[in-house]
Chain A
């Protein structure tokens, strides 16, 4: 792909985001002049850049949008919701087009038809037709060709004039004078020239005389260029956008080419007057230094002796340069002041134009406005890098592999001691491991940090979603976001996207009442939905709250009973809070009954499943007529899990360390039975014990004579014991989700590779324990 196009596509993405965001905010606060300007400028830049490529439909569409925005900006037309709709639709369409271009490098077929309707709507408020103003500094065709066009050569100019005459067309002419020091800024003028599309002629401007070989400075740019091109002014502005001040672009027709302007008379700036200007600047500076000032001068009020000495020296040098040497005594400040003042007066009256004022703002003679205030976006060198997600993922993989390799050292240390009998070596390996471990941890932290994104990334789509949906449903809704700066791992952020959309849609569809119903119930007509995020230790808590109808626990209980999810006893006894959470049960609602009852249901079990797959939890709280809050609790980082390793019959299993309470060895006699369930009594607490091997269907029996190894865990707020064969150490692992056949085997959350190359199956404790309980 043409690198210029690739660059445009990258920039366009950001511009479109800016426009979308700006429009939404403008809708809420149409008076925000700064915001209108922002959106206008983004649209303007898009239009300008689009002219560079063969996408006329894109240019016309952005042109229409830009004209409308310009009218809004100038106060000629107030921005209303319908206009915002049209503008949003326009930029949505453009986004779609650019996605197509990214793949096909051209606009989709039918683009012009799609655009036509929108263009009409965009132009309607501003009275119809496009002002056919070519963008750019040319502001139309010049009357006379600037003198530098002649550098193309009389023959070329004549030929071009004939051609333009025949075709009644115009062409663009560019004079590019790179700064002498441009190479030091990393600029290569020929590279820019190469990028000029549709170049017809190029003339190279050379100095009249080259410096002698020994004096030749290879890093001083002494060349200039004059170009004749069929490219549009907008395209040229884009190519030269970072060096605009070194470039002059004009549009000429045949007539202009045939009547060159009279050469401008140079303002008598010969070397002599330059030097005079410098000398005068120094004298002015000296004078200002000597004038008494009341503000914070140096202590002692006035220049120091050293300073005065320098003033005398510099002023004397300047006076000499002016051909009027003068004696200056640094000890006599007043005397110096007088002498300098009279020098300046004499110089001014004698020489006429005194040159630039003392602040000596240096400008190259004859050049138009230098760098504009917001110059050099390309130069400033962004402090932020855009990184391909795949690269970050790769870094994470490598960290994982590093961890595994590092962990291998502990096994190695063991082997050194046990297999090779060298304790000393084992110790040295452990030392080495300790050092590596520290570094690996920091590296891991750093990479995970790179993966951290603010929740605002997840939240960003909602203003638009809420706006569109609420308009469609005829409800009035305000979206509030809090804590969007809270950071979480990018995978978590990504995984949150669907569940959040689900929850917000549910609120919008079912939770929030139509305005009339709200006012009838004494609530404000405008409902609100709040998305909030807050960090809580190593987890992030995201809540979706609305002030709508709320959920009626009685109806939920009833429905759950009807669907066989709870029995009669539970129907009586289930508390309200728990009842609400029944909504998450699969089978609670079917596709047909979407709205009436609880108003929720479709997809809630999917939401729960996704969240739990991430190692999180979701709960709901509700109050009838007041509203509903859904709370998602997710681990801040999913990348690395610390697990405790246990084994049964040679197969190793991992248990997330935060769920582990303790490891105990229990003599056979310590295990009792309560209602067919094995239990162990620990410090006066009765803890049910589940046989891991039995639950997983592995052929293994504990040795009756030996103590039993029980891993005590805490899951869903209750303690349980897992009967295993051996305990092993804790390790950090990168959890890979289950794939293939085992994916729906709920007993496992994933696999990990251990340092010695064996595979660890990480248990989904909740599932294992409930399986075990049922088996009992």
Chain B
């Protein structure tokens, strides 16, 4: 549904509500080097957004939703565009 969380990659789609946050955070906690696609995500509950900020997973696909892409993505992933899914990239430093 909204969360598809696999071994170390995941996809957030549709609206991620407060109900999904607990599961998301649990996954982030146990998944160092987590990579998330936000491509089909059209809303992040603040708690979800905050969790992404705190755990800083790698964003592999930018959201198509305007508000998320323009306002929140730059905060999540400062330097630049997300690396397309499937591409080869280094894991982020932890923290």
Which residue numbers of A lie inside 8 Å of B, CB to CB? 178, 183, 188-191, 193-194, 199, 202, 204, 206, 210-211, 213-214, 216, 218-219, 221-223
Q: How far is the CA of A652 from the CA of B76 in the complex (A)?
A: 75
B3 interfacial contact with A, CB 8 Å: no
> In the complex, what's the smallest C-beta–C-beta distance from A206 to chain B, in angstroms?
6
Contact of A218 (CB < 8 Å), options: B25, B71, B72: B25
How many angstroms from the CA of A641 to the CA of B35 in the assembled complex? 67
Flag if A221 contacts B46 (CB, 8 Å).
Answer: yes
**A218:B51 contact, CB within 8 angstroms:** yes
A183 touches B54 (CB 8 A): no
Contact: B71 with A216, CB < 8 Å? no
With A218-B25, A221-B50, A222-B50 given, is the CB distance from A188 to B55 under 8 Å?
Answer: no
- Give, as a whole number of angstroms, the nearest-CB distance from A21 to chain B: 40
List 28 interface pairs A-B (beta carbons < 8 Å), by A numbering. Answer: A178-B46, A183-B18, A183-B46, A188-B45, A189-B46, A190-B43, A190-B49, A191-B43, A193-B71, A194-B67, A199-B71, A204-B53, A204-B72, A210-B54, A211-B54, A214-B29, A216-B29, A216-B51, A216-B54, A216-B55, A218-B51, A219-B18, A219-B21, A221-B46, A221-B50, A223-B46, A223-B49, A223-B50
| CB nearest to B94 among chain A residues | A213
Identify 20 new A-B residue pairs, CB closer than 8 A, beyond the known A188-B45, A218-B51, A219-B47. Answer: A188-B46, A190-B43, A190-B44, A190-B49, A190-B72, A193-B71, A204-B72, A204-B75, A206-B53, A213-B28, A216-B25, A216-B51, A216-B54, A216-B55, A218-B25, A221-B46, A221-B47, A222-B50, A223-B49, A223-B53
A66 to B71, CA, bound (A): 38
Tell me which residues from 26 to 71 in chain B have a Cβ below 8 Å from any Cβ of chain A.
28-29, 43-47, 49-51, 53-55, 67, 71
Residue contact A190 to B45, C-beta cutoff 8 Å:
yes
Chain B residue contacts of A219, Cβ below 8 A? 18, 21, 47
Chain B binding surface SS class: helix
A566 to chain B, nearest CB (A): 75
B71 & A202 in contact (Cβ 8 Å cutoff): yes
- CB-CB under 8 A from B55, the residues of chain A are 213, 216
Count the B residues whose beta carbon is within 8 Å of the partner chain — how many?
A: 22
Chain B residues contacting A216 (CB-CB under 8 Å) are 25, 29, 51, 54-55
Instruction: Report the minimum CB–CB distance from A372 to chain B (whole Å).
Output: 24
Least CB separation from A222: chain B residue: B50
- Is the CB of B22 closer than 8 A to any CB of chain A? yes
**Which residues on B sit within 8 Å (CB–CB) of A214?**
29
- Bound-state CA distance A453–B75 (Å) is 54
Residues of chain B within 8 A (CB-CB) of A189 are: 46
In the assembled complex, which residues on chain A have CB atoms less than 8 Å from the CB atom of B45?
188, 190
Cα distance A210–B94 when bound, in Å?
Answer: 13
Question: In the complex, what's the smallest C-beta–C-beta distance from B92 to chain A, in angstroms?
Answer: 14
| CB nearest neighbor in B for A227 | B71
Contact in complex: B54, A190 (CB < 8 Å)? no
| A residues near B50, Cβ cutoff 8 Å | 221-223
Complex Cα distance, B53 from A211, in Å, reads 12
With A and B bound together, what is the CA distance between A204 and B52 in angstroms?
A: 13
Q: How far is the CA of A193 from the CA of B72 in the complex (A)?
A: 11
- Tell whether, in the assembled complex, residue A218 and residue B46 are in contact, meaning their CB atoms are under 8 Å apart: no
Contact B47 A218 (CB under 8 A): yes
B54 shortest CB reach to chain A, Å: 4
Q: When chains A and B are docked, how far (Å) is the Cα of A223 from the Cα of B87?
A: 32
Q: How far is the CB of B19 from chain A (nearest CB, A)?
A: 11
